[in-house]
A = this chain, B = another copy of it.
Amino acid sequence: MRELTVDLGDRSYPIYIGEHLLDRFGETAVKHALPKKSPILLVSDAEVGPLYLPQASASLEAAGYTVATHTVESGEQAKRLDALGDIVTTALEAGLDRDSTIVALGGGVVGDLAGFAAASYMRGVRFVQAPTTILAHDSSVGGKVAVNHPLAKNIIGAFHQPEFVLYDTSTLRTLPPREVRSGLAEVAKHGLIMDRAFTEWVEANADRLLALDPEALAYALYVGCGVKARVVSQDEREGGLRAILNLGHTIGHALEAVAGYGELTHGEAISIGMCGSARLAVRLGHAPEDVYAATRRVLSRLGLPVALPAHFDTDAIMEAMMHDKKFRGGEMVFVLPKEIGVVDIVKGIPSSLVRDVVESLKQGESA
């Protein structure tokens, strides 16, 4: 088992990464002094719940905990205010009190929804993240939790740090290949923003990662979570630095907004977005030309798209970017690579140049 710490003073917490950790949930809960006389609520979704709720519950019950469960529909549409209300119904019926813990057992959607439930139930109870996807190695660290609103994603939420993150890598074996690739896009992102050597390692070990080799996967998640933890430790509430985690996300979110349902995964969208950021950086003279090629190479090796399908409407993408909550006062702000493993937050980028770059992403290879 690997372990690392998110350093946030008296809100610091560990991330445990390894095989079969769900079987050790009970002992980990005891180690972290989760109170036994207050019920624990496990929240999962319709896909993950049937696979792992029994295992997690059994481990906690064997350690002497009372466990209740709540299962939400799978997919992004579960992140609704009324789904939060449903979790609270279950929590009240199960007798959860201020000393209770709410556990997110699943991917990023479950983490965000159950995390916001933990942040707001009785104005905040203990929270544990038990991610079951690769993508969630990103979202499960840092305490950002939220639900969506019909007009905007993640717009209603909180910062609520977990007691610990229990990352059972055995659960990743049931992931569909496309979800594996999607998750690896965030792994690659963590290298691209802060760790050149790790980026090269990902490129060299892409096949092992895609084959879910346990050792390679655990190492990649350890380094990926470590980058995220370092950034969050320095900027818990997104005052500045934390924005670098949005590399590829400005274009990526816009692509997700205009794409048809199921057309692009989050990882695919940010993969194209990271290629866009690299191109933008090269065009602005912010990064040397080979940064674009290197970005493209690692993402390609992971089986991720690096060009924009031609049928995407550039105007619609630009429109979606203008609505992104990351824009303040109409200015366009981007996270841009300076070199591989180093990024900057660059303000005042002309939208005409962004438009050119988005359009050029349809042409693939040439920058």
Residues of chain A having any CB pair with chain B under 8 Å: 37-38, 81-82, 84-85, 88-89, 92-93, 97-99, 116, 119-124, 144, 146, 149-152, 155-159, 237-238, 325, 328-329
Which of A82, A92, A99, A159 neighbours the largest number of chain B CB atoms within 10 Å of its CB? Answer: A92
Given A151-B92, A328-B97, A329-B37; A123-B159 close (CB under 8 Å): yes
Q: A84 to nearest B CB, angstroms?
A: 7
User: Which of B98, B119, B124 interacts with A328 by CB under 8 Å?
Assistant: B98
Q: Report the separation of the CA atoms of residues A37 and B330 in the bound assembly, to the nearest whole angstrom.
A: 11
Closest B residue, CB atoms, query A89: B151
Which B residues lie within 8 Å of A329 (CB)? Answer: 37-38, 97
Which B residues lie within 8 Å of A122 (CB)? Answer: 155, 157, 325
Which of A99, A144, A158 neighbours the largest number of chain B CB atoms within 10 Å of its CB? Answer: A158
The reply to whether B120 and A156 contact each other, CB–CB distance below 8 Å, is yes
Which B residues lie within 8 Å of A84 (CB)? Answer: 81, 156
Which B residues lie within 8 Å of A116 (CB)? Answer: 120
User: Which of B85, B88, B156 interacts with A121 by CB under 8 Å?
Assistant: B156
Q: Report the separation of the CA atoms of residues A325 and B38 in the bound assembly, to the nearest whole angstrom.
A: 13
Which B residues lie within 8 Å of A152 (CB)? Answer: 92
The reply to whether A157 and B123 contact each other, CB–CB distance below 8 Å, is yes
User: Which of B92, B99, B119, B237 interacts with A158 by CB under 8 Å?
Assistant: B119
Which B residues lie within 8 Å of A238 (CB)? Answer: 123
Given A97-B325, A149-B92; A158-B120 close (CB under 8 Å): yes
User: Which of B88, B146, B155, B328 interacts with A156 by CB under 8 Å?
Assistant: B88
Which of A122, A238, A329 neighbours the largest number of chain B CB atoms within 10 Å of its CB? Answer: A122
Q: Report the separation of the CA atoms of residues A231 and B199 in the bound assembly, to the nearest whole angstrom.
A: 52
Which B residues lie within 8 Å of A123 (CB)? Answer: 144, 146, 157-159, 238
Closest B residue, CB atoms, query A97: B328
Q: Report the separation of the CA atoms of residues A151 and B93 in the bound assembly, to the nearest whole angstrom.
A: 9
The reply to whether B89 and A85 contact each other, CB–CB distance below 8 Å, is no
Pick the 4 closest A-B CB pairs, nearest first.
Answer: A123-B157, A92-B151, A120-B156, A81-B81
Q: A235 to nearest B CB, angstroms?
A: 13
Which B residues lie within 8 Å of A120 (CB)? Answer: 116, 120, 156-158
Could you pull out 22 A-B pairs where Cβ atoms are within 8 angstroms?
Answer: A37-B329, A81-B82, A84-B156, A85-B149, A88-B155, A89-B151, A92-B149, A92-B152, A92-B155, A97-B325, A97-B328, A98-B325, A116-B120, A120-B120, A120-B156, A120-B157, A121-B156, A122-B155, A122-B157, A123-B146, A123-B158, A124-B237
Q: A315 to nearest B CB, angstroms?
A: 21
Closest B residue, CB atoms, query A327: B97
Closest B residue, CB atoms, query A91: B155
Q: A324 to nearest B CB, angstroms?
A: 11
